[in-house]
Structure 1
Amino acid sequence: MSDAETAGAFACEECLQPAEAFAVIGNETRLAILEALWEAPERPVSFSDLRRRVGTRDSAQFNYHLQKLTGQFVRKCEEGYDFRGAGRAVIQAVLSGSLNQDPEFGPVEVDGECVDCGGSLVAHYADETLRVECADCGRLHADGEFPPGGLEDRTKDEVMDAFNQRVRHLLCLVSDGVCPACNGRTEMTITRTGEFVDYDVHIEHECQRCGQTDPTSVTIALLDDAEVVSFYRDHGIDLNAAPFWTLEWCVSDDHTEVLSEDPWRFRVHIELDDERLVADLDEELTVVDATRESL
Structure 2
Amino acid sequence: MDRDSESDRNREHASDNASDHESDRRDQGVLECTDCLDPADAFALVGNEVRLSILEALWAAEESPVSFSELRREVGMRDSAQFNYHLQKLVGHFVTQQGDGYVFKHAGEKVVRSVIAGSFNEHPSIEPFDVTGACFACDGPLAATYEDERLAIDCRACGQGHGEYAFPPGGLADRTRAEIADAFDQRVRHLHCLAADGVCPECSGRMETRIVEEDDCCLGVSLRVDHECRQCAHTLCSAAGLRLLDHSEVVTFHRERGVSLDDRPYWTLPWCVSDEFTRLVDRDPSRLEVRIPLAGDELRVTMDDELAVVETHETSPSSD
Q: TM-score, normalised by structure 1?
A: 0.92
How many residues end up aligned between the 2 structures?
A: 295
SS of alignment partner, residue 276 of structure 1: strand
Residue identity opposite 2:114 in structure 1: A
Aligned-residue sequence identity (percent) comes to 49
- C-alpha change, 1:35 and 1:185, in structure 2 (3 Å) is same
> Alpha carbon RMSD of aligned pairs, Å?
2.0
How far did 1:25 drift? 1.7
The aligned counterpart of 2:117 is 96
Q: Structure 1: where are the runs of 5+ without partners? A: none
Preserved contact between residue 195 and residue 202 of structure 1 (Cα < 8 Å):
no
The aligned counterpart of 1:47 is 68
SS of alignment partner, residue 120 of structure 2: coil
Aligned equivalent of 2:286, options 264, 280, 283: 264
Q: Aligned partners of 1:25, 1:258: CA distance in 2, in Å? A: 48
Q: Aligned partners of 1:14, 1:192: CA distance in 2, in Å? A: 42
Deviations 1:236-271, CA, capped at 9 Å, x for gaps:
322133210010111112222332233322332222
How far did 1:235 drift? 2.2
Deviations 1:135-161, CA, capped at 9 Å, x for gaps:
011000111000111111111111111
- Structure 1 segments, 4+ long, off by >6 Å, are 1-4
The aligned counterpart of 1:164 is 185
Aligned equivalent of 2:44, options 10, 23, 29: 23
How far did 1:89 drift? 1.3
Of 167-176 and 6-15, deviating more is 6-15
1:67 aligns with 2:88: yes
Residue identity opposite 1:241 in structure 2: D
Preserved contact between residue 221 and residue 285 of structure 1 (Cα < 8 Å):
yes
Q: Aligned partners of 1:29, 1:284: CA distance in 2, in Å? A: 46
Preserved contact between residue 134 and residue 140 of structure 1 (Cα < 8 Å):
yes
Residue identity opposite 1:220 in structure 2: L
The aligned counterpart of 1:277 is 299
Q: Aligned partners of 1:83, 1:5: CA distance in 2, in Å? A: 26
Q: Aligned partners of 2:127, 2:233: CA distance in 1, in Å? A: 31
Q: Aligned partners of 2:220, 2:126: CA distance in 1, in Å? A: 25
Q: Aligned partners of 1:266, 1:67: CA distance in 2, in Å? A: 53
Bigger helix fraction: 2
- C-alpha change, 1:285 and 1:11, in structure 2 (3 Å) is closer
Equivalent residues in 2 for 1:2-41, closer than 5 Å: 5-7=26-28, 9-41=30-62
Q: Aligned partners of 1:257, 1:70: CA distance in 2, in Å? A: 52
The aligned counterpart of 2:310 is 288
Preserved contact between residue 238 and residue 273 of structure 2 (Cα < 8 Å):
no
Preserved contact between residue 177 and residue 186 of structure 1 (Cα < 8 Å):
yes
1:175 aligns with 2:196: yes
The aligned counterpart of 1:201 is 223
Deviations 1:185-204, CA, capped at 9 Å, x for gaps:
22222233332223231321
Residue identity opposite 2:260 in structure 1: D
SS of alignment partner, residue 150 of structure 1: helix
Residue identity opposite 2:134 in structure 1: E
Q: Aligned partners of 2:33, 2:279: CA distance in 1, in Å? A: 49
The aligned counterpart of 1:120 is 141
Deviations 1:39-63, CA, capped at 9 Å, x for gaps:
1111111122222222222323222
Q: Aligned partners of 2:282, 2:37: CA distance in 1, in Å? A: 49
Q: Structure 2: where are the runs of 5+ without partners? A: 1-21
Residue identity opposite 1:236 in structure 2: G
Q: Aligned partners of 1:31, 1:83: CA distance in 2, in Å? A: 12
1:244 aligns with 2:266: yes
- C-alpha change, 1:276 and 1:18, in structure 2 (3 Å) is closer
Of 234-243 and 164-173, deviating more is 234-243
- C-alpha change, 1:194 and 1:3, in structure 2 (3 Å) is farther
How far did 1:210 drift? 2.4
Residue identity opposite 2:185 in structure 1: N
